[in-house]
């Protein structure tokens, strides 16, 4: 019988390290399931629902969304989308110690999700390179797509248009310099606490030093490291 263990890979790291691009490629090449909490949050924001408006208050200031809210969103998605034996990438979750505690606790209590292996991939890149990458980043405006492009490293075939769904490409509202600075600041405040929790609770963390270069170079290095 096929292995029924569900494998969860948590992509952790500051913004602009290429987590989303690597995750999207793993989906295309290996058929993994993926949830980017950032994409999910932006989807709600674009829909301008009450929840979306509430989320925008945090995102547009570079702050994290409250832990219980984001953890609940991840669980709802997992219940609906994850089948036993699947490999799942959580891009940008957990991001705080509380999220990791809530998530691992809930996994251990849910009979459907009890056979889960959890591994963290810690993406590392210099701040200078992060700023360069974020200032050249464009995303697809179609909330179901949100593919990532770069004016220096991954140009679309037709300028300003998504290769996959033909929707216009836009800059993320939280990619403006001032908000990015705050996001990096928030990241550095929460990082050590989360990594210490993983260490204390014996969770597997793989450090991935992101190489400088085009997405293919990054993906090859990722495959070697992971």
Among 15, 154, 194, 195, which residue sits at the site for ligand AMP (rule: CB under 6 A)?
15
**Residue 172 is a catalytic residue:** yes
Nearer to ligand AMP, 54 or 84 (CB): 54
Question: In this structure, what DSSP letter does residue 161 have?
Answer: B
Longest dimension (CA), the chain: 52
187-210 core/surface letters (b: 16 or more CB in 10 A; e: else): beebbeebbebbeeeeeeeeebeb
Among 38, 45, 82, 118, which residue sits at the site for ligand AMP (rule: CB under 6 A)?
38
Nearer to ligand AMP, 73 or 82 (CB): 73
Identify residues 173-212 at the interface with ligand AMP (CB under 6 A): 174, 183
Nearest Cα neighbor of 210 from 55, 14, 6 is: 14
Least gap, CB of 60 to ligand AMP (angstroms): 8
**Residue 25 is a catalytic residue:** no
190 CB-near residues (< 8 Å, 6+ apart)? 64, 95, 96, 97
Least gap, CB of 42 to ligand AMP (angstroms): 7
Identify residues 49-108 at the interface with ligand AMP (CB under 6 A): 58-59, 63-65, 70, 92-93, 95, 99
Nearer to ligand AMP, 58 or 75 (CB): 58
Q: Phi/psi zone of residue 225: left (φ > 0), alpha (ψ -120 to 50 degrees), beta?
A: alpha
Which of 25, 133, 154, 172 is catalytic? The answer is 172
Nearer to ligand AMP, 25 or 95 (CB): 95
Residue appearing with tokens 């989360």? 194
Position 14 contacts ligand AMP (CB under 6 A)? no
Q: What sign for the dihedral angle of Cα 16, 6, 146, 187?
A: negative
Least gap, CB of 2 to ligand AMP (angstroms): 30
SS3 assignment, position 172? coil
**Residue 181 is a catalytic residue:** no
Residue appearing with tokens 């990594």? 195
Q: Supply 6's token pair.
A: 């569900």
Nearer to ligand AMP, 61 or 79 (CB): 61
Which residues are at the interface with ligand AMP (CB under 6 A)?
A: 15, 37-38, 41, 58-59, 63-65, 70, 92-93, 95, 99, 174, 183
């Amino acid at each position: 019988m096929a292995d029924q263990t569900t494998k969860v890979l948590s992509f952790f790291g500051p913004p602009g390290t290429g987590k989303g691009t690597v995750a999207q490629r793993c989906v295309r090449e290996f058929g993994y399931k993926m949830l980017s909490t950032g994409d999910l949050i932006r989807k709600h924001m674009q829909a301008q629902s009450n929840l979306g408006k509430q989320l925008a208050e945090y995102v547009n200031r570079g702050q994290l969304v409250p832990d219980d809210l984001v953890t609940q969103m991840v669980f709802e998605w997992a219940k609906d989308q994850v089948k036993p034996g699947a490999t799942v990438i959580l891009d940008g979750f957990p991001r705080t110690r509380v999220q990791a505690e809530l998530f691992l606790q809930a996994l251990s209590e849910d009979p459907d999700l009890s056979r889960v292996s959890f591994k963290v991939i810690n993406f590392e890149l210099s701040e200078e390179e992060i700023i360069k990458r974020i200032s050249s980043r464009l995303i697809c405006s179609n909330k179901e797509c949100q593919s990532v492009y770069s004016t220096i490293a991954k140009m679309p075939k037709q300028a300003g248009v998504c290769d996959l769904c033909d929707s216009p490409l836009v800059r993320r509202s939280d990619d403006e310099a001032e908000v990015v600075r705050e996001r990096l600041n928030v990241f550095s405040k929460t990082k050590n606490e989360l990594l210490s929790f993983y260490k204390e609770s014996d969770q597997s963390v793989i450090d991935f030093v992101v190489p400088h270069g085009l997405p293919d170079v990054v993906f090859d290095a990722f495959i070697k490291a992971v």
